[in-house]
Chain A
Amino acid sequence: MSTAAPALRAPAGPVPERPTARVRPYSLTGGRGRCGHVLLMETFVAALADADEGRGDPGAVAAAPGGALASWLLPEVRAVLGLCRRLRSVAEVSALLRMPLGVVRVLLGDLADQGRIRVYGTGHLTGRPDRALLERVLSGLRRL
């Protein structure tokens, strides 16, 4: 312990207000796709069984809302569907496929619109977690 240590200084003044106009990434949709799927970073998704790696029914895709036939052919789409044979969070899909978060959100939103992936609710949506969830997290951490 050294009271003479020089590193600690109080802020020189008030920290600037948060700016009202902030930078938005081009593809950040607020976590919500066209059909209202909420895609937070921790939201779980999984491929639906008959949507396996692009071998489903192409007609169903062309007819789906927001379904672009071109996306059917994208290797990225096949990669997403392959990875999502297990439950994955949106962030995990982005990291494991090395695709920017915004791009992954758009792809997942489209695939959900087309009925090729399932988007699972986080249970709390965008609000603050409630006390019951916090208590469960607390006891979970205590068991670690």
Chain B
Amino acid sequence: MDYADSDATAPRDPGPGPGWQTDLSRAPAATKIVIAGGFGVGKTTFVGSVSEITPLRTEAVMTTAGEEVDDHTAVPAKATTTVAMDFGRITLDTDLVLYLFGTPGQQRFWFMWDDVVRGAIGAVVLVDTRRLADCFPALDYFESCRLPYVVAVNHFEGTARHSPEAVREALSLEPDVPVITMDARHRITVVETLLTLVGRALETTPGAVSRAVHRAAPSAAPEPSRGGRCDGSS
């Protein structure tokens, strides 16, 4: 789905919408999930498959304003860039609304991730196995802020199929990070992916009695398995 075709000329109201929109005496609880990954991996498709509204696009303006930027991006001082983010909405109950935000995967858009990650349930990291490296910045970011995440391999037909185990190994994922093979165009697999993420978030939220809590306990030291794969250059 391409949002640009659906609201090409004028801002569009999403329509009558669910009942909670007109009761201004109270608002539903609002929560969100981040859909991350490289360009063209299927983020907007994923959001559109499950959203009750045609995905909308919000933009943020980024400027360096003379500030030092991370050295991977050589953005000249005072340059401005517009970063776009597609999002959708699901009314889960009369008083509960879930937003899905598809965020661009480049490292230089981290400021936008900071914003979208605040208060989020977790993230779905979408992966195209032909361009595996595109998801590295997202994985690194979510690990650094300890946001629960799952890896969802969006399988494009006609491309090689890799087992979740192969993907896990190639990405140096912790054993308890779920890896799912799905199709962003198919609502059922998108819902399953979201269910897996929320289950993962529950595992890592205090109060859980499962062993996962202990495995996910914060630790300042580098995790052994990642270090094991990358120790040559650390």
Identify the A interface with B (CB < 8 A). Answer: 1-3, 5, 7-19, 21-28, 31, 40-44, 46, 83, 86-89, 91-92, 94-98, 100-103, 118, 120-131, 133-138, 140-144
Contact = CB atoms under 8 A, between A and B. Distances in A.
Contacts of A43: 30
Chain A interface secondary structure, helix, strand, loop or mixed?
loop
| B119, B161, B170, B172: most-surrounded residue (chain A CB, <10 A) | B119
Contact of A91 (B28, B58, B70, B208): B58
Contacts of B175: none
Given A15-B136, A95-B57, A131-B202, A5 B172 contact: no
B1 interface: no
A10 B169 contact: yes
Given A23-B64, A102-B61, A96 B96 contact: no
B29 A40 contact: no
Interface residues of B, number: 94
A91 B99 contact: yes
A100 B60 contact: yes
Contacts of B27: 44, 46, 87, 120-121
B177 interface: no
Interface string B164-175: 001101111000
Given A26-B63, A98-B59, 5 more contacts: A5-B160, A15-B140, A87-B23, A100-B61, A144-B191
